[in-house]
Structure 1
Amino acid sequence: MAEGLRYDLPDEVRVRCDGPVRTVVLNRPDEFNAVDVNLHRGLATVWRQLAADTEARVVILTGAGRAFSAGGDLDWITSFLGDPVARDESIREGAQIIEEMLRFPLPVIAAVNGPAVGLGASVAVLCDVVLMSERGHLADPHVAVGLVAGDGGAAFWPLLTPILRSREYLYTGDRIDAATAVQLGLATRVVPPDDLLEEAQRLALRLAAQPTEALRSTKRVVNMYLSQALAGPMQAGFAAEVVSMQSTEHRERLEALRDRTKSR
């Protein structure tokens, strides 16, 4: 790590340093890395800190335990029903996560070790290379709980996969298994579970050995297409999601889901 640099992050986001590789771990394993206020804030702030680490060349993003990320923490999301300030802050941070990932200069490899749901799926798909465990799957269940899929899915998936294919999954929230995700263009390739982190590390070291400026500039050019295409849909998506957060239907579905989850 660059001399004097220390990562200032909540415990829910940890950074491991291994030569030129930084492994970012979503760290709420007992909750399947569901995104709460601290994990959300960590995801919004980690990218600038990684970019300031002058010895870093490649980043691996993965989840602790059995999941990549189970999406939004139900207690945290439910708190927005009575706290519009926290709700609006979550939307601001959500936009920051996507913007920071799109402008981040280093290649990022997602090692999707289990379910990647909601924001978890969006973050995974925003990475440069998406390696998925055979046990992993993607899903965006926003609509099922009365929300607009504004934090990535509705805006981002149609850039990567045929709209007719992505619509069904966005409208229903159905799971996309690892092999189907590759077929659709939402993942790069499937890896046996026991080999996932080793394969991610092997690829990371290979990318770290590439000429630094050529690799960074190539990523920057590629991401220009994404940033330009996403500008309008992302802004509209977040605005629509805020409106849907205030709906009676969302409140009813979210509270019912939380009650079912707690009764298990």
Structure 2
Amino acid sequence: MGEESSVLTVAADGDVRIVTLNRPDRLNGVSEALHRRLSEVWAELAEDPGAKAVVLTGAGRAFSAGGDFDHLLAHHTDAELRDRSIHRDRRIQTDMIRFPLPVVAAVNGPAVGLGCSLALACDLVLIAEDAYLADPHISVGLVAGDGGVTLWPLLTSLLRAKEYLFTGDRIPAAKAVEFGLANRTVPGENLMTEALALAHRLAAQPAEALQSTKMALAAVVESVSRGGMEAALMAERATMTNPDHIRIVNELADAAAARASARREA
């Protein structure tokens, strides 16, 4: 229960809500508890009568490094977990698209995998100068089902989306802006100040006009992306038990454990 309440925090700054991914010791990697909270928080915030805008960020030096290894490994043998994860991914994507309030991403460090998808699902993206985006789903043997197929083709060219989804290469902050995957870079020390200032500016806009415009844009996103989202989610579920994925994740987890052991002994 303690982890459930702490892995994602919501704080108020006047009529702006600050949502923070809060597993800094694991670079905000997505555990089952964090995945669950990400699938719940948007409906909760939509019912908050005092909220007019949201800032989404990560605690510590990362926005989110993607899936936590323990969580990924558990999917290999747990069919019910695979079903839950796909259901939650669908809900996260759909709820963020339909969320009525403006959301500003403050990408304070690496945004990888689901972390990248969360950032790009926001309405405006401010990214620290030393941060980067990456979606390495394919590189770890998974279909890019939790947002890459849904959103990237709407934000940048299809050719560019294919290049970076197929290779998993990192996209530095300045390139992310050039490619249309972020609005602007910000010095890291100024990131939250600028993100909050932007969120408060949006919160001060006439609420009905802003929210109705956002909902009209959401209808465009859904009409373009719905088929691709569902196909990608089903294909991602299938690849969760693919031998390539199992081998790669086990190798990566073993390497991470060896590095951690070496640091403890140093």
Query: Which residues of structure 2 form unaligned runs of 5+?
Result: 260-266
Structure-2 residue corresponding to 1:113: 108
Structure-2 residue corresponding to 1:165: 160
Structure-1 residue corresponding to 2:20: 25
User: Is the CA contact (8 Å cut-off) linking 1:143 and 1:171 kept in structure 2?
Assistant: yes
Runs (4 or more) in structure 1 with deviation over 6 Å come to none
Q: How far apart, CA to CA, are the structure 1 residues paired with 2:96 and 2:44? A: 12
What code does the residue aligned with 1:204 have? Answer: A
1:62 to 48, 57, 60: 57
Structure 1-normalised TM-score?
0.95
Is residue 147 from structure 1 mapped to residue 142 from structure 2 by the alignment? Answer: yes
Structure-2 residue corresponding to 1:53: 48
Q: How far apart, CA to CA, are the structure 1 residues paired with 2:20 and 2:223? A: 29
Q: Deviations over 1:92-149 (max 9, x none)?
A: 1011100110111000000000000000000100100000001211000011111111
Is residue 253 from structure 1 mapped to residue 243 from structure 2 by the alignment? Answer: no
Q: Deviations over 1:64-114 (max 9, x none)?
A: 000000000011110111111111101110111001101110000000000
Q: How far apart, CA to CA, are the structure 2 residues paired with 1:90 and 1:109? A: 25
2:216 to 211, 214, 221: 221
Q: How far apart, CA to CA, are the structure 1 residues paired with 2:91 and 2:257? A: 31
Q: Deviations over 1:166-195 (max 9, x none)?
A: 211111111000010011111111011011
Q: How far apart, CA to CA, are the structure 1 residues paired with 2:135 and 2:230? A: 18
Q: Deviations over 1:206-249 (max 9, x none)?
A: 11111010010010111111111111000000011111112111
Cα RMSD, aligned residues only: 0.8
- % same residue: 53
1:47 CA displacement: 0.6
- Count of aligned residue pairs for this structure pair: 256
Q: How far apart, CA to CA, are the structure 1 residues paired with 2:77 and 2:239? A: 14
User: Is the CA contact (8 Å cut-off) linking 1:10 and 1:39 kept in structure 2?
Assistant: no
Structure 2-normalised TM-score?
0.95
Query: Which residues of structure 1 form unaligned runs of 5+?
Result: 1-8
Q: How far apart, CA to CA, are the structure 1 residues paired with 2:247 and 2:62? A: 27
